[in-house]
Structure 1
């Protein structure tokens, strides 16, 4: 625990907060601390890479909300798509609606669980019992633990959990884009403001005291001293004192184990719900990566917000399938041409004299994978792109 607080101290930064909306704290010096160090990076770490479909932006590491979204996506039930078997890839289409209360800076006040009183009462009871039986070594160590951990909890409780994300410029294109890892891809569909919250949002504890850095360091020292003193002095205590200490320790550890598995999930759900509301998800599992990527391109091409420049889709294809072999380039050009002309994915046999027999076999397989994606998209098109978002006559001329 002491080492964790030491990492908190190293993550602390002093900043001056300026809020144009008249925040009473505007213009004052604050201390910001990274909360992911308290949560063991479980669901609060940086998220996967993001490629913007309209803006063309590429973010190598996204914010903690992206990590939470990926965890949520991985647990969804899916529709399996049949095709050429290879390494399966999941594709989730997430339709994001702007929550009315979504702001550039939001403050959360997670309330402590009722069960927090249990380890407090157990520590006080064992401490008093040791004092009554004159077990002073155990008494002093339990009391030191109460003071050290209590001081640390009071300090953390005095801070505000802040979620912050940048406001997009006026006239920014839609924020749609692809988020994900090698085998788990998520298509984000929504306004730039909402997508920014996922891809660029960050969490931090804010403390008004400019001495917060020193207080964190003091908490770290107290917790480390407590651990060392317990190792030295508890063996000097009598059996009854050692038993009381173990009872206090058992209650504290049990509560911490419960808190680490339950309370963080409650905090996650509260933050996720307040920022993103209830996004709509639909998930598919494709038999290979090629089908998954083509499916994503089709979902983007049908949207009426598309500017009609399919070169952006070619860039997305190159990002998700980064190979420049000749056979792959021929295949990519064929797919982009189909998207541009609005033709169904029905491919005629064609001969490419520069390709070997093995490359021609590969090209045939890749075109078959594209056909698999097109069939899946046609079957589920109404769920993926609602009628009000369908491309009009001025949009991409995709037709069945």
Structure 2
């Protein structure tokens, strides 16, 4: 939803006849998923930046060894090895998106809606919609190991391997790295004070540079990275954002775009009002939705029901304004068409 707020908006329904806060609606046309697609990695510049703490640690380790401070040199070297192995093991994990779908969800239409400060309409199959509404990111540390074991096993043993994986997940590599990092901390606490002043300065220098690099990693926008990954899984779906003058226009526009089986329930969700004017307005709008297109725009008083004619003058003016909003939403919907990737790029 935050990504949708970055899109340019297109005004729908013409000028407003009432001073209200405009409402914005984004429509996303979802296609096929690419859950097996490789996830994006950091840029080359970020990789080069990672060489800085590595080079500083290696330099301070060499300087301590040349100075003759083997306590400090060995501890810096232990830090290089233990942290390097931990990064290697964690980086070997497989990142994926669990969409919680079955085979039938790939064929069923599953249009949905996200409600918040702005409205987001999801149009597509249920599998793609579930990736947004129900999906979650999964970092599997043992998937590659399981794939390698299955490659060496026959079909008869594959089912047994699956049952074993479910019952006894393996995290030996993570456990070894955790143990190594714990030992590194204990050895540094005991041995660094035994080193020389020069060696201790070298150790603190390497520690400061590593801390600065870790601070840089922690400052990265995690939500933005996750949004980029999700967009890749969804194959960069085309998105278009609309601005409507009033909430009434927005509600009618959303109902027309989604065309739900129960439009009354959706209208009640978008406009939770329970006064007589609103009930009459909803009844008139829902009735027009069942008619032919040529009759949908007929909202003049000649077509008002008897209940509307019995309203007070103030309520009649409000009803007329609400019906005008509904008409503007229909005019805007008449110009709406499903967006394509070329439209999205423009």
TM-score, scaled relative to structure 1:
0.61
The offset of 1:337, in angstroms, is: 0.9
Q: 1:240 deviation in Å?
A: 7.2
For residue 71 of structure 1, give the secondary structure of its aligned residue in structure 2: coil
Select the structure of larger CA radius of gyration.
Answer: 2
- Decide whether aligned partners of structure 1 residues 140 and 204 sit closer, same or farther in structure 2, where only a CA change above 3 A counts: same
**Aligned equivalents of 1:225, 1:89: Cα separation in 2:** 56
Total equivalences in the alignment: 301
Three-state SS of the structure 1 residue aligned to 2:336 is helix
Match of 2:280 among 301, 323, 330: 330
- 264, 271, 289: which one pairs with 2:247? 289
8 Å CA contact 2:93, 2:141 repeated in 1 = yes
CA distance in 2, matches of 1:216, 1:272: 33
CA distance in 2, matches of 1:180, 1:352: 31
The residue that corresponds to 2:228 in the other structure is 269
Q: How does 1:162-241 map to 2 (within 5 A)?
A: 162-165=96-99, 166-169=101-104, 173-181=108-116, 183-208=117-142, 210-212=169-171, 215=174, 219=178, 222=181, 226=185, 238=197, 241=200
Structure with the bigger RCO (C-alpha within 8 Å, sep 6+) is: 2
Q: Following TM superposition, by how much is the alpha carbon of 1:131 offset from its aligned partner in structure 2, in angstroms?
A: 3.9
* Alignment partner, residue 91 of structure 1: 25
* DSSP 3-state at the match of 1:198: helix
2 CA distance for matches of 1:346 and 1:220? 75
Matched, 1:245 2:204: yes
State the shift of 1:91 in Å.
0.7
Partner of 1:91, secondary structure, is: strand
Residues 163 and 203 in structure 1, CA contact (< 8 A), matched pair in contact too: yes
Aligned residue for 1:22? none
* Two-structure CA RMSD over aligned residues (Å): 4.1
Structural mapping, 1:137-176, within 5 Å: 139=73, 142-143=76-77, 145-165=79-99, 166-169=101-104, 173-176=108-111
**1:375 Cα deviation (Å)?**
2.5
- Report the counterpart of residue 157 of structure 2 in structure 1: none
After alignment, is 154-163 or 258-267 more displaced? 258-267
TM-score, normalised to structure 2, is 0.69
Residue of 381, 384, 392 corresponding to 2:336: 381
- Distance in 2 (CA, whole Å) between partners of 1:136 and 1:130 is 7
Equivalent position of 1:298 in the other structure? 256
Using a 3 Å threshold, how does the CA distance of structure 1 residues 263 and 251 change in structure 2: closer, same or farther?
A: farther
The 1:283–1:133 alpha-carbon spacing in structure 2 relative to 1, beyond 3 Å, is: same
Q: In 1, Cα distance between the equivalents of 2:234 and 2:28?
A: 11
Alignment correspondent of 2:328: 372
Contact 1:96–1:194 (Cα < 8 Å) also in 2? yes
Q: Distance in 2 between matches of 1:338 and 1:376?
A: 16
* Aligned position for 1:6: none
Is the aligned partner of 1:352 residue 2:308? yes
| CA pair 172-332 structure 1, distance change in 2 beyond 3 A | farther
Q: 1:131 to 1:317 in 2, by over 3 A?
A: farther
2:31 and 2:87 mapped to 1: Cα distance?
Answer: 36
User: Shift of residue 190 of structure 1?
Assistant: 1.7
Aligned match of 2:236: 278
- Contact 1:144 1:226 (8 Å CA) reproduced: no
2:60 paired residue number:
126
CA contact (8 A) 2:280 2:308 kept: no
Cα distance, 1:133 vs. partner? Answer: 3.4
TM superposition shift of 1:367: 2.0
